[in-house]
């Protein structure tokens, strides 16, 4: 009996530079990916909402609708992983993109091999989160929920809840990377996790990210929880050391 191979991941590439669309598309197809191309943010957004791909590679600087706006509107409806393409000299774009919920970023000009490695790393993290009984393996054990004080994390369903008091329980939507960072912190409340440890938890070992990337994700986590509970203080910064999660 032949075992069917899993379908090839679909990558949506959104960039107004035709040369990038052509060259990256060829490289991705050579690696076995299915590629969908969009040359502007407006048309891309409509298509991505109608039929979400497995991952989006999204340029920030585009006419009509830039990548920031595409990501903002996309995040209102779906949680598809996003890798931002940024200009080499616009560090604020990188930080802002991560703060808005992108899973990773890569600066232009970039190596196609590096981009493919980043894509595979993000897809691996996403696949790990989707490897649940709901994905088709009914005999696979579901990961137990993590309860830490007012925080509840459900790894099997990629759901996060925060008890905001007075009977209010907020559902906090996190990206795959944000979820893994929070899960690492919450696994051992009160224990400090360095930025390097959080990088190891959230990224493949063959992918380099700097301290600012982790800091941006932490800021985004706090912002999301404070939207549910403005008094949220469970993620503590220890300057020069790292971060820790405090149970209340």
Tens digits of residue pLDDT in 92-143: 555 566 666 778 878 888 888 888 888 988 888 777 655 544 444 444 444 6
Please say whether the beta carbons of 186 and 153 come within 8 A.
yes
- State the residue for tokens 């890569």: 106
Q: What is the DSSP code (8-state) at residue 132?
A: S
DSSP 63-77: SSS-HHHHHHHHHTT
Cα distances (Å, whole numbers) of residue 118 to 56, 70, 81, 125, 186: 12, 20, 11, 11, 26
User: Taken in order 66, 68, 71, 76, is the CA torsion positive or negative?
Assistant: negative
E strand or H helix that includes residue 164: strand 159-165
Beta bridge partners of 104: 83
Reported confidence tier of residue 51, pLDDT bands at 50, 70, 90: very high
Which residues are CB-neighbours of 45 under 8 A, at least 6 positions away? 65, 70, 73, 74
Summary mean pLDDT of the chain: 82
The pTM (predicted TM-score) of the whole model is 0.60
Q: What pLDDT, on the 0 to 100 scale, is given for residue 107?
A: 80
């Amino acid at each position: 009996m032949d075992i069917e191979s899993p379908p090839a991941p679909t990558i949506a590439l959104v960039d107004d530079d035709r040369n990038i669309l052509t060259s990256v598309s060829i490289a991705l197809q050579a690696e076995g990916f299915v590629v969908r191309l969009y040359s502007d943010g407006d048309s891309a957004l409509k298509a991505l909402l109608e039929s979400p791909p497995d991952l989006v590679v999204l340029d920030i600087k585009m006419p009509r609708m830039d990548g920031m706006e595409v990501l903002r509107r996309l995040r209102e409806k779906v949680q598809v992983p996003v890798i931002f393409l940024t200009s080499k000299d616009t560090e604020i774009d990188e930080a802002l993109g991560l703060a808005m919920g992108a899973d990773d970023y890569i600066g232009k000009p970039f190596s196609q091999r590096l981009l493919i490695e980043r894509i595979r790393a993000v897809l691996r993290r996403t696949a790990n989160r989707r490897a649940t009984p709901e994905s088709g393996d009914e005999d696979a054990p579901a990961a137990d929920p993590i309860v830490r004080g007012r925080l509840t994390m459900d790894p099997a369903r990629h759901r996060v809840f925060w008890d905001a008091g007075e009977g209010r329980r907020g559902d906090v939507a996190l990206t795959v990377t944000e979820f893994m960072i929070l899960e690492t912190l919450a696994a051992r409340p009160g224990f400090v996790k360095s930025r390097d440890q959080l990088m190891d938890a959230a990224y493949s070992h063959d992918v380099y990210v700097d301290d600012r990337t982790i800091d941006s994700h932490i800021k985004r986590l706090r912002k999301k929880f404070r939207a549910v509970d403005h008094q949220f203080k469970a993620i503590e910064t220890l300057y020069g050391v790292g971060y820790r999660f405090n149970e209340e």
